[in-house]
């Protein structure tokens, strides 16, 4: 039975697993409150009597009696696969899928899309501007770039207001290009997803910009030149 805790609210979702011991859920609830998180998921782990607990992007493994927990990643020894990181990737994709593409600033290839890269960006970030200068090259190789707002200075900052203007512009793509080139953009205010996207990025482990999330959920922090990114996409996701 999969269990979700939301600050005192306990929601059970049936699954093929045995019921999670109450001692585990109590410990998970305490950890959730300490981290001031909205929700936590608890599932049996590959190790007997140890329960995987994801609080935001952080992984904990709680003993069946709830008396002890381990914070960190779980690896499979034969491969070795990072099972915790795979779970994080799944959660990132699930989180990104809650956001409609209409609320992003999207630079798509003219022809078929081979790969999609989600980029958390800040218009006043030097390396974000450097990445943006190579978006046309990425498009040529069939890479769709979907921008999410991540104003590092926070809600209400000058960068935040500038990014609101980008997301509210009639031509969002041109406004994004102008902002990253240091050109003035017309101040505009509308109902926008900038604050929500900032929160979304923080919830999946984004701490700086640019931050790339690939279609399999892998988080790639920092600037990556176009030629290296294309090579990595082919290697990790397969050539299409």
What pLDDT digit, counting tens, does each position of 131-157 carry?
999 999 999 999 999 999 999 999 999
Cβ contact 29:54 at 8 Å: no
CATH number, position 137: 3.40.30.10
* Domain annotation covers residue 90: no
Residues 146 and 56 in one domain: no
* Domain annotation covers residue 93: no
**Mean pLDDT of the 11-25 span:** 62
> Across the strands, what pairs with 96?
none
pLDDT tens digits, one per residue of 183-233 = 999 999 999 999 999 999 999 999 999 999 999 999 999 999 999 999 999
Could you list the residue range(s) of the whole structural domain that residue 22 is in?
A: 2-85
* Domain annotation covers residue 231: yes
- As separate numbers, helices (DSSP H) first and strands (DSSP E) second, the chain gives 8, 13
Cα separation, 163 vs 169, whole angstroms: 10
Buried b (16+ CB within 10 A) or exposed e, 4-40: ebeeeeeeeeeeeeeebbeebbebbbebbeeeebeeb
Cα separation, 71 vs 164, whole angstroms: 37
What interhelical angle do 172-180 and 158-168 show, nearest 10? 150
Residues 159 and 197 in one domain: yes
Residues 72 and 156 in one domain: no
Which of 152, 171, 216, 234 is an active site residue?
152
Active site residue 168: no
Residues 133 and 220 in one domain: yes
Residues 132 and 63 in one domain: no
Active site residue 190: no
| pLDDT of 72 strictly over 70 | yes
The model carries a pTM of 0.83
Residues 210 and 141 in one domain: yes
What interhelical angle do 158-168 and 194-203 show, nearest 10? 110
Band (pLDDT 50/70/90 cuts) for residue 239 is: low
Q: How many domains are contained in the chain?
A: 2
Which of 122, 183, 190, 234 is an active site residue?
122
* Domain annotation covers residue 55: yes
């Amino acid at each position: 039975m999969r269990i979700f805790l939301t600050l005192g609210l306990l929601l059970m979702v049936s699954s093929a697993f045995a019921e999670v011991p109450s001692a585990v859920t109590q410990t998970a609830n305490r950890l959730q409150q300490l981290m001031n998180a909205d929700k936590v998921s608890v599932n049996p782990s590959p190790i007997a009597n140890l329960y995987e607990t994801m609080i935001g992007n952080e992984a904990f493994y709680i003993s069946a009696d709830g008396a002890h927990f381990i914070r960190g990643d779980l690896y499979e020894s034969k491969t070795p696969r990072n099972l915790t990181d795979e779970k994080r990737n799944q959660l990132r994709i699930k989180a990104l899928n809650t956001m409609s593409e209409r609320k992003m600033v999207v630079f798509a290839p003219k022809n078929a899309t081979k790969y999609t890269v989600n980029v958390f960006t800040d218009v006043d970030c030097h390396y974000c501007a450097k990445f943006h200068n190579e978006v046309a090259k990425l498009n040529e190789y069939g890479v769709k770039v979907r921008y999410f707002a991540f104003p590092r200075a926070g809600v209400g900052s000058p960068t935040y207001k500038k990014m609101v203007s980008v997301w509210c512009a009639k031509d969002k793509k041109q406004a994004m290009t102008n902002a990253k080139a240091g050109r003035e953009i017309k101040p505009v205010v509308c109902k926008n997803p900038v604050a929500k996207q900032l929160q979304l990025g923080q919830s999946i482990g984004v701490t700086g910009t640019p931050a790339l999330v690939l279609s399999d959920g892998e988080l790639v922090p920092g600037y990556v030149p176009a030629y290296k990114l294309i090579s990595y996409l082919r290697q990790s996701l397969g050539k299409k």
